[in-house]
Structure formats: structure tokens, C-alpha cells
Structure 1
């Protein structure tokens, strides 16, 4: 909820709807609680605030009555009683006054730190919260006056802070606002000092001096005092200002504000004592703009030298002389420009900005060294695509803009060419895609924003996605340097500064998607690549973090065009695919050990390259593509990227046949979701025919998880598992899982304990999570809740480490079911909500069947049958999506729908749903699925005295409960539905009669159980 007291009292619901709070006393009481939001307010304070020094005799009762009225207007539980007082259980940030104070403090902190853009932003946001005088409609309450005065004083201070912050901005000239503030508060000195500074900055010093004279007269007349020492010092400084200096080229005034470089500005402010600072980065990254912004914020006079117009050698010193405004006659007798500069700057206190140094780098470096050595008062800020490379140089590399500043920059620049443009829900996605496609490069974003005058943002995003960026961004500021008027020209300028060896490596490097390690560059581009690669880093064509090398996508696309022109693309693509196949095999060997996380990270870093290699191989080298699918199978599964293989596998499917054996089976696993398709039948045959272990060690695990357990009588190859320790542990896991799902709980548990120890000895997390999950399930069936939750918690931790989000969702769903049985509905609901979020992020709608099932069961047991029906109907629809587990998922949902019909008293619907559940579960090879359906059917016999064909309904119910135990291998602790049916049957049969019928069912074989279920329907 949101509350407002900066104006009339305002209360809004979480949906944004206004709530009415009736009566002056309750409104005042709510305002009083809001002033201390989230904290307990004593009854005594409430009485004082409402009635002042003369409270009525029954003031405490009156306060209690007002609280009661408030509670009827507000959501339940919002006002808490704590013995001696009341607390409004909201966050202070939900109240505009507290939010205002927080933002004002943050603005003041940023102002003191010299971070004017951030300060101005925070202060504007704070002041925008005001809707009128504070506490306007409860002003008669005794507490309101002092609080309103306090808040109004804070508001005035924030306004003054904002004016000072705006004075620090390059475009800041708040003269008009300050004149209004001075008129409204004529005796406050701070606004008058700010107005004097603003007038001085605007080139109106005489008006600034007039403001001081007016202030001095007013203070003398009204207060009998003189201006403060600070105001007097400012007056003296304006009087002494020297306006007869040589006319130097000042940093150019900017037409718009700098966006998104707060961190770099802070770093430059911290380097204010450094004498040589070089801003480095690729073309269009904003080096010049940042240098200008820094110079305008500096407390020294600055001179700006644009070296982009310098051609040839020996002209840099002359360009600096011209920018300094020094005529030759001023330094007669010193013909050498450098000597003239040394003489001119020897005693100067100056900030010299040398812009665009990359094409005259050596000459600039020599000149800067000499000038800095001879002129102690000189500071140099240079901009270049590579460092000057001299002692004492401080580098400030400029990276692309992060997402939020990039979007903000696009929005501001687009609004300047298309009136009314704003980024909102309808176009945010397109703007995000534009900024991502342009690598967050400010110039490219500004060029794209300029095109909103002609195109919509969706059209721009689409064209950029089609790599049409150079043609699309071919119009820019006509007054800008030629190399900045189009995106192509920006990159071409950098390309022209490379020598032949650097150009060759740059175009070859373009085959890498998402960067590369030095080893990869040397293997793909040539063994002598290290030296020119370092040169490309120096020249800002390639970035590095010390481990990997990366090229901005805009630069990479330009270089890729040059690669095609050189006729090298086919050879480089083949070398790229060959290297990443080798890398994938090498990494796969480490995924079965304690080094798993390290190698998953290495593979993830090269995921874009692996995708590019696979994409090329599917078209040009299908044998390599098939091998890549196998080598990456475990990586894709563990990192939740299995979907990334689908499109490649589907394209490969038509080009590879069953005769390929293992390769064909792996392609089918990734390409075909329907396990009943002819491709799956052929894949089964191919795998059963193998007379050797699968080369892909993860292949048997993948097959088991996706294909499910073998059908009765289905032949199974005994050779697919390898002899290594991991494969032996996997074989044991497979046997234990089949035993568990077939009702052999005790034997499965022993195998799982041994298997867990084997995977643990290897340090392999995925295998450990399988054992932990299944052991947790068994412990929960026994009602060993502490042990079960401990096992699952460890499993969840390992899955989170791996990033195996699909399996994490599965485990959360199973844990939610156990928590529901243990009676912890809040924790069960939280697990469901997290699993639901994962299912959406992963694009796994089939998981929703199990999630909605759990949510529906929770709602039913809480008595909300309508909510249960909504969830279970959704679960039934989703259960048809999961083609791999349709029988099991669907039978559980049908059983839940049958129980819901029982709760609603609809005997016919209950009978139909339970019959459908049994029919569906019979087709599942898992005894556990059938056990659940049998227990569900048991409840149907006790509904409305349903008649059995042979025997008493209660006896039939007890028998079916026993059948469930026979099929599963044990009873499940905490199952409230089973307990309800058992209690009802016992009441009819008596303890002995129930025990006899139950024991008969519990001792049945699967065939006998199936016969009973057939009659039971």
C-alpha cells in the first residue's frame, strides 16, 4: 500500500485504488501513525497528538474507538496492538514523507561528494512527492503544526540543495528558479548566494553584485546584521574576477546532458590530483563527451584541443598553440612550436584537454611528456583509442553503457527528435533489444534514437537484428566530425589505423561469438596471434579482462565483412568448429568429477561459440555436428540449456539415420519430444543393438530421464554403461530408481546409500543430487521429516551450485508435496511459487501440471474448493503437454479431481474421475502411479454409501488402501486423504475388520492388485 501526508491524506491499495478514510479524528490518527510508520506509537503519544494538553476523560477509549474505525477502512492486520501502543505495519518507504526524507538525504550526500547529476535526480524525485502543504487536511490536530513546519523546512532545504546541484551541471542555469526562491524567502542567505553564483556563471556578474548589495541592505534593515562571511567571500571573488585573459578554446558547450557515466565521473574526480589522465575506449564510446564534462566540472581553467583535424606529423604543437590563442608575435624569437608552448605554459595553472590522439599518438606522447615536466601547474586529460604509454599516465577505460543508462540515453535522445516519445511497457522490450544490439555504445544508441523520427522502435530493433545496422545508422549530426556521422565511419576510422597484421587478426577474430581465450585465438587464428592481439587491445578494437578477449558486436560485424572480402571465412569457420569440438570433449571429461563447476563455467563462457560452431557444422560438417551434440549433452542438461540444442538437432535429424547408432539416438533425444514417434522407436532399436558403451557417458542417464523406464519385456542393452566409476554409480542409480518405483523400497534405499557414497567420492554433484532427492522422498514417506528436509536442502544447494534449474524445479515440487503432508502449508506454498517461477523462466509449461496439482491440493485442504478447482483444471490441461510423463502426471491430477468431487458431494463426478485415474495409471510402468490411483479409488467407495459388487464398501476401501501399500512398498506418512478414508472405514468395520481387509490388500502381487482395481472400477 501507499500513503501520503505531503498534501491531503492519501491512501492507496496495492492495486493503486484510493481508499476512503472517514472522519477527521481517524484521519488525524492515521497521519500520526504514518509519521512513525513501522514503529510502535504509545497510547500516551496518540492522546497528546490528538488532544494536546487537554484530553477528555475517556481519551484512551476514544483512541481505541478511532483505531477500530481505521481498521475497518484498512486491510486486516495492518494496525497492530503491542500492549502499550499501536504500530502501523508498513515500510517507511511506503509513506511519501519518509521517502522524501530518504531521497533528500541521498541527494545531499551526493551533492557533498560532487556527484551533481545523481544529486539532482534524487532531489527532484524527492520534491515531486509533494502534492501541497504537508498534513493539509489534518492541520487542526495538535501534532500537525510542528510536524508540518519540520517537513516544510526540509522541503526548502531540499529545494536549495537542488539549485546547488543544478549549478554543478553543464547545462544548469537555474537563475529563474532561484529568483523565485529568493522572492519567496527574502531573508534566507543561501538562495541569494546560489543566485549570485548562477548569475556569475551565466556571464551576468553585475547582476550578481547587485544581488549582494540588495541582500546587505535587507539584512541591515530587517535584522540589523551583515551578510555571512561566506556570502561576503563570494562577493569579493566576483569583484576580483579577471576577465582580460587570453581567449582560449574552451571545452565545447553541450546541447544535452551526459547520461550513464556517474562511476567514471567519480573516478575522474578521485584522480583530480593526477597530472596525466587518458580516457581510452573504442570509437563512439563517449570519450570526448566525458572529457568535456570533466573539464567543465574542474575548478581550473580548461583549454580544449581537437586533434582529429591534424594531418601529418609535426602539427600537434601548433594545434595546441592555436587552441591556447597564442599568436606568433607573442612569443617572438622561439620558432619551434614546442619551445613556444614550453615558454607559454611554464607558469600556467591550466587543464589541457587533448582530444582524439590515436592517429598522432607518438607525437602527443612526446609533447605531453615535455609539457608536464616543464609546467608544474599543468594537468592533461587525453582521449584516445589506445594509451599514450608514458610514465605517470592514469588510464580510465570506458566500457559500454549498462542496460538502464543505455535505455535512458535512448529515451532522452529519441524524445528530442520525436515529440512525446517515452519508454514504457509497450516499447521497452524493443528499446532493450536496440541497446543490446548496439553493445551499449553511446554514439550508436544516439544514432539509433535519431532514427525514431522516421521509424518506430520495433522496426529499428528488427532491422538491427537482421544485421542492417550500418545502413540503418547512416545518418547522424551533420555538424559532427565525419567519422562520427555514421556508425560505419566510426568503425572504419579505427580500422584505418591498424597495420596489415593487426587487420588480418581483427577480421579472423570475428569468427568468435562472445569472445575467446588466448588458447582459442592461437588455435583458430594462428599460433603467432598473441602479439597482434595485444596491439588490438591497446587500440580498443578488442577488450580483455586478463582471461578472455572480446570484440564489441558492432566492430565484429564490420570485421566479419572484411573476412568475407578476404576469402578466408570458410577456412576460419572450419577451424573454429574443430577447436570447439576438441574443447567440448576435453571439458566433458571433467564434468564427472569434483572439477565440475569450474568446467561448467568455462563451457558457459564459450556458450555462444559452441552454438556458432554447432550452427555452422549442421550446414557444412554434419559429422562434427553430431559429435558436438554428444560432447555437450551433459553440459546442456546441467546448465539448463537443453532447449538450445533442439533447433540444431531437428535440422540434423533428416541428415542422419538410425545406422549412425548412438549419434542418431542422441539427435532424437534432443530433437523429438514425442516418445511415441517412429524416430524414438528407431532410436531404441539402435541403442539396444549397441555392443559397446556409449561414447557419451551421460547418454544413458539422458535416455533414462527422457524415455522413462523400459516397458515390460523390452530388451535392454547390457553394454551402454561404461566401466568407469561414474558410469558404475549411474548403473546403480538406475537399478535403485526402478526398484523404488516398482515398490522395492528397502532394496532401493540400500542401493541409493551406496550410490550416493560413490558419487560423493568422485565429487560429482548431479549424481549426488539424484541420491539425495530419492532418499529424501523415502524419508518423507516414513514421516522422518527432519531427515527428509535435510537431504532435500543439500540437494537443492548442489543443484543451485550447478545451475540445473529444471531439476531444481522438480525437486522443489516433490519437497512441496512432502511439506504439505507434514502440515507446513506455508513452506509448501513457497516451494510451489519458486518452482512456478522457474518453470516460466525455463519455458517448461509441462512442469505446471505438478505445480498446479500441489496448489490445488493445498487449496482443497484449506476448504477453498473454487480455488482448488481452478488449479486442478489447469493441472489437467498442462498434464497433456508433458509427452514424457503424461500417464503418471495425468493420473495424479485425475485422482485429485476425484477427491475434489468427493469434497463437493458429487458422487457421479468422483466415480468418473477415479475410474479415469486408474485407467491412466494402468498404462504407466511405475507402480507408484498405480498406488496413488488405488488409494484415491478407496475414497470413492465411502461416498454416499456406494454399493460394491461383492462385499461391503468400507471393506473394499480398506482393501484398496492395502493395495496402494503393496504397489508402493510402504505406506506414506501424513497423507490426510488416506488417513480420512482409513478412519471412516475403521468406524464401519472396527479395528480388526479394517486390519484384515487392509492386510489382504497389502499382501497382493501386482497382478492381483490389477485384478482388484479392475473390479473396483
Structure 2
């Protein structure tokens, strides 16, 4: 072509005045697509940065297109009939009045290697599609890069979705970690351009993260927000995001009009929709998070006409995002900025209140279906449903509470509290239950209040708030008796038995356990009967009757298997693992814990911290001390996230055992002391299944220090409190502490609890027969355990064992 032929590097691309952040992987991907396809369309929501990305790709491709790269900006063009002329003008091509412009373009491009960048095609999709198809068919080496809010839909087109920049989740991150996230980097850099003294700091990091997350990582929104920091602090900006369209109005004066305010950017896309699609877009703003097609059909009132066609068009035009759930079904979502825009339009239509009511009724209906299924064979799909719809459930609860609809609020929390606990949302479950129960309209002693009280009591107990839990359970049982409702009575007895078990009050739990058994059989509720058997087993464990505990657990397991109750099966397998651990047969416990974890994963639940914690003791018994530390720390993080104070204390004990195994007795004493203080504050004690392991490692560490020194450090740990020590444990410094020289570690940590008992008695001079009599085992069994112990300790005789008893941790040091 006349202007460009033979001149390498010719283009009309504007210079970039600011840095392009976070798009290097996209640029590489698009370059790869262009190497294989002649028409590549960058598609995404308005303000996501399609134009900037296309220009960056084009600049790096200058040498690949010796006949030129030409940008054609279409944002201001209204009439698609003028499209060919705009393209010709952009590349400096004179047209002839006696020849159609399209033919002039075809003749000019010919077989030249040219890249044409068509920017902002969404309002001229039909005209652009016709032009692109004609040019590509006629010009063998022409390539076209398109930016649009929807694909052109021409043969050979490949679509690249341009997503917003990555945003931080709600996890607390350091300043250094946040500065590795693209949306944060963009915001900070743009603020610094306006306020050179600005920096990300511990003081503002959380609110900057909130701003970037709240603005969906949209580059345009972030740049507008950064401009606003000249008059508002990040804290003020974050507090005003609900009014984002009035707030973010100070864009660049030289930017296109549609990019000078956030509202104009969204309105540009919205105004291109037909009336039906606009209406659906507005209706979809009632959802938060993601939603399904079924939800749209039921909530938005499209029956019998399906919204699928309109929904598909909204997806094509980048106004609705799509993902797939774990079953492969499509789910949809709106960026928060788009949702806010649709919500305003919905209010203008006067449909907001009615739609929220329909939405809440839909959530309630599904939630009660879920609640009825969570303890039976259909629990897996409903547990997944509850987690997928959690954001929408929150919204329905907020609406019910704000509107004073206590019946709906109580029914929702009653249906879903159990799912929240299983998904480790303990703190949130507690908050919703307490908020619903404290509503003035929730005061009457109704059946639905009683069900919510059961959930509130169980949740408070699991969080270590025993007095509050007891108050809720007392009221729950009183309502059940007043209403003569046996199902609620069964639930109340279950909550009370669990609370007593958590406090180590097995005897007090027994009348409630027996009531559970009687009512569960009478009402045909195998879930509760299996739970009752587990409570009986726990009592047996506390008294050391392992055979009785195993028998009860096996009975409960049969009930759970017959009912298809995977959650109970997983729990009971874990408890059978506890029995094996208490017997000292840790290798037999491991597969039971692992199968339990597998079943939890099949239910769509997060890793169960109790099983992870228990595997820590298995690893410790097998001499894998580093692995034990990893498992206890992992469980600690999970327990802490759930707000499980009891679990946190258990992990402190486990990590104390790790330090004992590493021959760091002072650190072990400090961890044990902190855990003891925490358990005492909860009114609890060391869990029966952990007692033998704890006593084993505590004895080794105490012997290494001597009683007086041990007591001093143990007391220091109590005084520091568990929160301080947990923070230390989770710090990089604690986790990164250098390992102890393996040669300084005795093999006593490899002994099973039974081998340890036999070795201790042998070190005191007892014969195999007397050891057998003392431990109630056969003389031959005692001999076998002693030989195993001698082999593991690398000790060759009884006399050597007795001489080295203190050194090996088999006898206390003399003070």
C-alpha cells in the first residue's frame, strides 16, 4: 500500500504515557493467538483496559508487520455505514468517489503484511463484522485485532476475554505481599503520580485492599479512585464506595467521554442493550456473588418465558460473567460495579423491594430443603449448594433482619447453621444466630425460635462460650417441653450432651444421651442415634475402656452406613483412629484418619482440622518430626480461622510434643503451659485421645529439664497466654527455626506408648513376668515389647537400659 509499503515500523499508534501494569501474561497469550489466527478479538467489560492492552500488543508486533500497524478508533462513530471511510482515513488512504471504499481498502491491503487494530466495536458490531469478514477473505496477509464488549461472531475469529486485574482476598496480607497484586500496584502507582509522598503502609494497607477489591480490579475504576485520593484519604474512599458513581467522576480531561466517569463507562454498555436485556440486567442486580439459571428463572419472574436468550446476550456483551460449579453447571455473576449500576436502575423502576422479597423467599425455600437433607444420604449436593449460594444467603438474611421479618430470619438460620459449622464458618454462624434471636419480633417462644436456639447453643459451645451455650440450650429444651415437640426435644438433648462432652462432664451427659437414644429410635432418626453412640464411646474413652469405645463406634458406624450418612461415617472413622492411637497402634490409626479426610473432601468440605491434628501425632510416633510440625501448624491455622479455641489449645499441645521430640524441652514446657491455661479458661482438659501422646512427650521433656526448671517455664507459658504464643508459633521465625542435630535426638520418641511403659518398668528392674502382671498383659507380650524398645533405643541389655534411664527420658532427673 502506498503509504506503508516497504517501510518497516510504520504505524499510527499513540505513545503510552503511563505504565501498563499486570498485563504481561495477557500480552504473551494474545501474541500467541495472533501467530495462529488472523482475527483476534479482545472482549471485556467497559473500563477493563482492552484498548491499553491492544496497543501494548501492537507496539511489540511492529517488526512482525513490515507494511504497517494502523489503529482505527471507533468510539465516536455512530453510523456504521461510514465505517469503511473511517478505516481508510485512519491509514491515510484517499478514496475515489467512483469506487466503493471497501474495494479501495482491499486493493490497498492486497497481500501486504498489515495489522489493523479496530478499537471499540461494540456499538457497531454488525458493520464491523461485515467489514472484517470481507477484508480477511480478500487480503491474504491482513490481520485484525479487535477490542469490543462482545465478539464480532465472524468465521475464524478467536476471542480473548480480558479480565479485571487480580485483587486481594479478605486474608490479611503484609505490605510486601499486597504490592505483588496487580490491582494494588496500579492503584498505588496512580496515587503516587498525583501525591508523590503517598506509600502503601501498615496503616492504610487494609483499606487500600478493600478499595481495590470493592472496585473489582477494574483499571478505569482504580484510576478514577486514585485521582480521588487527592481530596479523600483511602479510609474515606473505602467508606464511600457504596456511592461510587457520584464519587468516581474526576477522570482525565483528554480521555474519551465514556471513560471520564465510572458511571459513563457503564452507561455506554447499558445503553447499547435492547429494553428486555436492560430489564434482565437490572433484575440480576438482586443477586450477589454467583447465581444459577434456575435462580434467575424463579426469582426474576420469567416463567414461562425463559431468560436464557437475554442472559446469553448479556454474557456476550461482557456484562455478565460465567463460571462453572463443581458439577460442571454454568453459574453467572456481575462485577460489583455493574451490580451497583443495575441496582440503581432497579430502584428507578420501583421494583427493588418486590424483587428482594421474591429473592429472599427463593433462598428460604431452598435453604429449608437443604436443612432437611443435611443429615441424610443427600447431604453432599446440599452442602455444596449451601456453600455456592453463601453470598446470596447472607444477602437474604440481611434483608430479612433489616425489614423486621423475624420468622424468615429464624427459619434461615435454623436451616443452615449446621452447614455453616461444617464449612468452618463458626464465627459467622454465631453472629447470624445471635442477630436473628435478638430481633424484637423473634421473642415469642415458637418452634422456629427453639430450632435456632439449638443451633446457637451448639455453636457457642464449639466456640468455648459455655455459659452462653447453656442459656440457649436451657431455653430450647423449655420450649420443646412447652410445645410438646419431640423432634425439638431430641435436638435439645443432643446439644446438651455435646456441651457436657466438650467440658469433660461425661457423667452429666448420660441422661441426655439416653434421651437421645430413646427419641431417635422412636422418631426414626438414625443420625441422632449414631451421635448418641458416639457420646457413649467418648465416655468409655475417658475411662480408658477402649474395647467398649470401639464397640459403640462400630455400632454407630453401622447405623451411619445404613442411612447413607457420609458425614457421620467420616466422623466415626476418625474416632476409631483415636482408639487405635490410644492403644499405641499409631500405624493403624493413619488409614482411618485418611479415609475420614477423603470422605470430608467428597462432601465438598474443607480439610477437617481435627483429622489433620491427629495425623500430626501419627507422624510424631513414626519419627517424622518435621512432618508432625507441619500438620499441627496446618491444623492450628484451620482451627484459628474457624474460631475453635479448644482446637487451638490442642494444637499447642501437639506442637509442644514436637518441641519435646526435637529436644527443646523449654519450648515444649512453654507451649504446654499456654495450652493448659487455655483449656482451664474453657473449663476443659486434655482430650482423652491425646492424653497418652501428651503424657509421653511431656515426660520426656520434663526429664530433660528437671522438675523445678520445668515448672518455672511452664508457668511462664501460662502467664503469656495462648494468643501471644500462637502468634509466635505462626511467625516465620518460629517455623523457620533450625532443626536440632539428629544425633542429639534420642530414639525414645519412636516408642509406642506401650513400649514406653514396658521400658520404664524394665529400667526400674522389673522382670517380664512382673511387667506383665502390672500392665495386665502376657509375659511373652511384655518380652516382645521390651525387645522392640531395646532395638529402637539402640540399647543392648537391661542393665544398660537401667543405667541410661534418665538420659533416655525413661526416668525423671534427680533434683
Common fold, TM-score beyond 0.5? yes
Q: 1:480 maps to which residue?
A: 255
RMSD (CA atoms):
4.2
Confirm or deny: 8 A CA contact 2:421 2:459 kept in the other structure: no
| 1:628 corresponds to 2:421 | no
Residue 492 of structure 1 is aligned with which of 267, 285, 296?
Answer: 267
Residue 33 of structure 2 is aligned with which of 262, 271, 291?
Answer: 271
Q: 1:647 maps to which residue?
A: 431
Q: 1:429 to 1:842 in 2, by over 3 A?
A: same
Confirm or deny: 8 A CA contact 1:285 1:442 kept in the other structure: yes
Confirm or deny: 8 A CA contact 1:431 1:457 kept in the other structure: yes
Q: 2:479 maps to which residue?
A: 686
Residue 660 of structure 1 is aligned with which of 446, 452, 472?
Answer: 446
Q: 2:55 maps to which residue?
A: 292
Q: 2:98 maps to which residue?
A: 333
Q: 1:873 maps to which residue?
A: 673
TM-score w.r.t. length of structure 2: 0.75
Q: 1:616 maps to which residue?
A: 399
Confirm or deny: 8 A CA contact 2:380 2:603 kept in the other structure: yes
Distance, in Å, in 2 between the alignment partners of 1:992 and 1:495 is 84
| 1:363 corresponds to 2:163 | no
Distance, in Å, in 1 between the alignment partners of 2:755 and 2:776 is 20
Q: 1:623 to 1:313 in 2, by over 3 A?
A: same
Distance, in Å, in 1 between the alignment partners of 2:392 and 2:754 is 50
Q: 1:353 maps to which residue?
A: 117
| 1:414 corresponds to 2:187 | no
Distance, in Å, in 1 between the alignment partners of 2:663 and 2:485 is 57
| 1:545 corresponds to 2:545 | no
SS at match of 1:389: coil
Distance, in Å, in 2 between the alignment partners of 1:484 and 1:632 is 43
Residue 774 of structure 1 is aligned with which of 564, 572, 575?
Answer: 575
Distance, in Å, in 2 between the alignment partners of 1:736 and 1:992 is 29
Q: 1:926 maps to which residue?
A: none
| 1:512 corresponds to 2:287 | yes
Q: Deviations over 1:532-565 (max 9, x none)?
A: 2112112211112360111111100111111122
Residue 974 of structure 1 is aligned with which of 747, 753, 759?
Answer: 753
Confirm or deny: 8 A CA contact 1:357 1:384 kept in the other structure: yes
Distance, in Å, in 2 between the alignment partners of 1:473 and 1:304 is 29
SS at match of 1:367: helix
How far off is 1:310 after superposition?
A: 1.2
How far off is 1:428 after superposition?
A: 4.3
Distance, in Å, in 1 between the alignment partners of 2:458 and 2:260 is 47
Distance, in Å, in 2 between the alignment partners of 1:697 and 1:787 is 35
| 1:308 corresponds to 2:71 | no
Q: 1:637 to 1:694 in 2, by over 3 A?
A: farther
Q: How does 1:744-763 map to 2 (within 5 A)?
A: 744-760=545-561
Distance, in Å, in 2 between the alignment partners of 1:819 and 1:244 is 71
SS at match of 2:151: coil
Confirm or deny: 8 A CA contact 1:321 1:337 kept in the other structure: yes
Q: 2:142 maps to which residue?
A: 378
SS at match of 2:81: coil
Q: 1:340 to 1:780 in 2, by over 3 A?
A: closer
Q: 1:712 to 1:495 in 2, by over 3 A?
A: closer
Distance, in Å, in 2 between the alignment partners of 1:682 and 1:978 is 48
Distance, in Å, in 1 between the alignment partners of 2:406 and 2:762 is 64
Q: 1:477 to 1:832 in 2, by over 3 A?
A: same
Confirm or deny: 8 A CA contact 1:872 1:896 kept in the other structure: no
Q: How many residues align?
A: 692
Confirm or deny: 8 A CA contact 2:384 2:604 kept in the other structure: no
| 1:502 corresponds to 2:299 | no
Structure with higher Rg: it is 1
Q: Deviations over 1:741-791 (max 9, x none)?
A: 455532331231233244345554321222222212222222223212222
Confirm or deny: 8 A CA contact 2:458 2:498 kept in the other structure: no
Q: 2:508 maps to which residue?
A: 711
Distance, in Å, in 2 between the alignment partners of 1:699 and 1:523 is 35
Distance, in Å, in 1 between the alignment partners of 2:611 and 2:624 is 17
Confirm or deny: 8 A CA contact 1:414 1:452 kept in the other structure: yes
| 1:251 corresponds to 2:16 | no
How far off is 1:636 after superposition?
A: 1.4
Distance, in Å, in 2 between the alignment partners of 1:680 and 1:700 is 8
Which moved further from structure 2: 498-507 or 785-794?
A: 785-794
Q: 2:722 maps to which residue?
A: none
How far off is 1:287 after superposition?
A: 1.2
Q: 1:625 to 1:251 in 2, by over 3 A?
A: same
Q: 2:166 maps to which residue?
A: 402
Confirm or deny: 8 A CA contact 2:283 2:300 kept in the other structure: yes
Confirm or deny: 8 A CA contact 2:669 2:710 kept in the other structure: no
Q: 1:351 to 1:732 in 2, by over 3 A?
A: same
| 1:260 corresponds to 2:22 | yes
Confirm or deny: 8 A CA contact 2:454 2:472 kept in the other structure: no
SS at match of 1:395: strand
Q: 2:633 maps to which residue?
A: 833
Distance, in Å, in 2 between the alignment partners of 1:747 and 1:292 is 74
Distance, in Å, in 1 between the alignment partners of 2:544 and 2:483 is 30
Confirm or deny: 8 A CA contact 1:675 1:707 kept in the other structure: no
Q: 1:292 to 1:978 in 2, by over 3 A?
A: same
Q: 1:346 to 1:641 in 2, by over 3 A?
A: same
SS at match of 1:751: helix
Q: Deviations over 1:134-160 (max 9, x none)?
A: xxxxxxxxxxxxxxxxxxxxxxxxxxx
Q: 1:125 maps to which residue?
A: none
Distance, in Å, in 2 between the alignment partners of 1:908 and 1:253 is 71
| 1:436 corresponds to 2:203 | no
Larger RCO (CA within 8 A; separation ≥ 6): 2
Confirm or deny: 8 A CA contact 1:278 1:395 kept in the other structure: yes
Q: 1:560 to 1:975 in 2, by over 3 A?
A: farther
TM-score w.r.t. length of structure 1: 0.61
How far off is 1:876 after superposition?
A: 3.0
Q: 1:819 to 1:391 in 2, by over 3 A?
A: closer
How far off is 1:485 after superposition?
A: 1.3
Q: 2:786 maps to which residue?
A: none
Q: 1:614 to 1:981 in 2, by over 3 A?
A: farther
Which moved further from structure 2: 468-477 or 695-704?
A: 695-704
Distance, in Å, in 1 between the alignment partners of 2:198 and 2:390 is 37
Q: Deviations over 1:456-490 (max 9, x none)?
A: 444434443xx233233221211101111121211
How far off is 1:584 after superposition?
A: 2.4
Confirm or deny: 8 A CA contact 1:658 1:682 kept in the other structure: no
Confirm or deny: 8 A CA contact 1:502 1:536 kept in the other structure: yes
- For structure 1, the residue ranges without an aligned partner over 5 or more in a row are 1-239, 917-971, 999-1017
Q: 1:561 maps to which residue?
A: 344
